[in-house]
Amino acid sequence: MFNPKKEPSEKVFSDLKPPSKNQIKEFSLISLKLAIGLCLLPALYAVTFCFISELAKLEGAAVRPFVWGVIGFLVIYLFIWEPAIIFKKGQRVLEVIFRFFAPLVKVAPFVLPIYTILISIGYFVGLQFFEMKEFIPLFISGIGFSLALHLVFCAKTLRAKAGDKLKANYIFGFGCIYILDALLLSLFFNLAFEHFSFLNFFNGSYQLSKGICLAVFRQLFM
pLDDT at 8: 54
pLDDT at 10: 53
Is pLDDT of 214 > 90? yes
pLDDT at 88: 96
Is pLDDT of 33 > 90? no
Give percent of the chain with pLDDT exceeding 70. Answer: 89
Q: What whole-number distance in Å separates Cα of residue 35 and Cα of residue 53?
A: 28
pLDDT at 4: 56
pLDDT at 28: 83
Q: What whole-number distance in Å separates Cα of residue 188 and Cα of residue 213?
A: 28
Q: pLDDT (tens digit, 9 = 90+) per residue, 147-201? A: 999 999 999 999 888 676 668 889 999 999 999 999 999 999 999 888 899 999 9
Instruction: Report the 3 state secondary structure along the chain.
Output: CCCCCCCCHHHHHHCCCCCCHHHHHHHHHHHHHHHHHHHCHHHHHHHHHHHHHHHCCCCHHHHHHHHHHHHHHHHHHHHHCCCHHHHHHHHHHHHHHCCCCHHHHCCHHHHCCHHHHHHHHHHHHHHCCCCCHHHHHHHHHHHHHHHHHHHHHHHHHHHHCCCCHHHHHHHHHHHHHHHHHHHHHHHHHHHHCCCCCHHHHHHHHHHHHHHHHHHHHHHHHC
Is pLDDT of 9 > 60? no
Nearest to 143 by CA among 174, 114, 111, 120: 120
Model confidence band, residue 62 (pLDDT cutoffs 50, 70, 90): confident
pLDDT at 150: 97
Give percent of the chain with pLDDT exceeding 90. Answer: 57
pLDDT at 168: 83
Q: pLDDT (tens digit, 9 = 90+) per residue, 124-134? A: 998 888 887 78
Q: pLDDT (tens digit, 9 = 90+) per residue, 65-120? A: 999 999 999 999 999 999 999 999 999 999 999 998 888 898 999 999 999 999 99
Nearest 10 degrees: Cα torsion 34, 40, 44, 46: 160
Sequence-separated (6 or more) residues with CB below 8 Å from residue 92: 109
Model confidence band, residue 122 (pLDDT cutoffs 50, 70, 90): very high
Is pLDDT of 38 > 70? yes
pLDDT at 40: 93
Model confidence band, residue 143 (pLDDT cutoffs 50, 70, 90): very high
